[in-house]
């Protein structure tokens, strides 16, 4: 079997950096630990560095690939062992992917779309067992950051609300062709059970978190002035002189719930 698409030139616009190093491919597969009957969905199989190992391990995979040339090569190479969805993972309605099945989503993600893709996937989180992604190390550090950290921000709060996150290990640029400029990391994301999520209006929560971190150097009193008065912030049990980077996820939920009362009362 051919090891990759001969003559394929990595396309920058699709964030193509292909894994070639067997050591790192093996470590990533070990972290995913595919089991028979798993419904594994890979985003961006590319030249099949991970795909091939998953298929060897459990006989089948489903994948989403945007690059037509690679999609054609993947279909020809793996035939019925690979269910290929030729689509943009960012626009895909994930509820239509293997409906009724619990998904294990994996991918060495195109770095240029990683944050929007992570947000897009929250729509299907109630049907996901886990997600293992390779991302820029800097993005993974932001995802898993604790309050008080310099890199704790919108991405940390929004994803930690929905998932348990674990940084697994770093992968050096030399593991890829072409080599990216930066180090990558593997992150494991396990959705929290829906019934354990703190109740909150998602849009309001997202709005409050975005506003708070948009002006992260400002006090919450100033950053949230369009949403909440000083008294409202105090009523949510939060110090109005604090800054967004010091607040745990639960405090943002309380602020969003207070904001919803404010709007409803005023209406």
List, as one string, the DSSP characters of 61-94.
EEEEE--HHHHHHHHHHHGGGEEEEES-TTT--G
Beta carbon nearer to ligand SAM, 70 or 143: 70
**Per CB under 6 A, does 15 bind ligand SAM?**
yes
DSSP class of residue 195 equals G
**Per CB under 6 A, does 133 bind ligand SAM?**
no
Contact 22, 86 (CB under 8 A): no
**Per CB under 6 A, does 187 bind ligand SAM?**
no
User: In b/e form, how buried is each residue of 217-243, taking b as 16+ CB within 10 angstroms?
Assistant: eebbbebbeebbeeebbeebebebeeb
Distance CA 16, CA 139 (A): 17
Contacts of 88 (CB under 8 A, 6+ apart): 66
DSSP class of residue 200 equals -
Contact 11, 75 (CB under 8 A): no
**Per CB under 6 A, does 186 bind ligand SAM?**
no
Residue window 134-173: x/- pattern of binding to ligand SAM, with contact defined by CB under 6 A: ----------------------------------------
Say how many residues touch ligand SAM, by CB under 6 A. 24
**Per CB under 6 A, does 238 bind ligand SAM?**
no
Among 54, 113, 228, 236, binds ligand SAM (CB under 6 A): 113
**Per CB under 6 A, does 106 bind ligand SAM?**
no
Tell me the window of 40-48, 157-165, 217-225, 229-237 that interacts with ligand SAM (CB under 6 A): 40-48
**Per CB under 6 A, does 34 bind ligand SAM?**
no
**Per CB under 6 A, does 49 bind ligand SAM?**
yes
Q: Which two tokens stand for residue 18?
A: 């292909």
Among 40, 64, 82, 139, binds ligand SAM (CB under 6 A): 64
> Which residues here bind ligand SAM, judged by CB under 6 A?
14-19, 43-47, 49-50, 64-67, 70, 88-90, 108, 110, 113
């Amino acid at each position: 079997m051919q090891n990759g698409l001969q003559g394929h030139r990595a396309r920058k616009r699709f964030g193509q950096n292909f894994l070639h190093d067997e050591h790192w491919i093996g470590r990533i597969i070990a972290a995913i630990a595919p089991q028979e009957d798993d419904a594994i969905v890979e985003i961006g199989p590319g030249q099949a560095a991970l795909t091939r190992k998953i298929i060897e391990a459990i006989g089948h995979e489903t994948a989403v690939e945007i690059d037509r040339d690679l999609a054609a090569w993947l279909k020809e190479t793996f035939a019925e062992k690979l269910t290929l969805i030729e689509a943009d993972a960012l626009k895909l309605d994930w509820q239509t992917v293997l409906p009724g099945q619990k998904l294990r989503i994996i991918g060495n993600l195109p770095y240029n779309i990683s944050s929007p893709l992570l947000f897009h996937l929250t729509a299907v989180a109630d049907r996901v067992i886990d997600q293992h992604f390779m991302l820029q190390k800097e993005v993974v550090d932001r995802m898993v950051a604790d309050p008080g950290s310099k890199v704790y921000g919108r991405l940390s709060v929004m994803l930690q609300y929905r998932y348990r996150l674990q940084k697994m290990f770093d992968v050096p640029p030399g593991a890829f062709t072409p080599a990216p400029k930066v180090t990558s990391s593997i992150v494991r994301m396990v959705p929290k059970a829906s019934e354990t999520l703190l109740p909150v209006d998602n849009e309001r929560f997202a709005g409050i978190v975005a506003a708070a971190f948009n002006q992260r150097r400002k006090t919450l009193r100033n950053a949230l002035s369009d949403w909440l008065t000083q008294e409202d912030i105090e009523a949510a049990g939060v110090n109005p002189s604090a800054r967004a980077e010091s607040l745990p996820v639960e405090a943002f939920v309380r602020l969003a719930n207070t904001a919803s009362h404010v709007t409803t009362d005023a209406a």
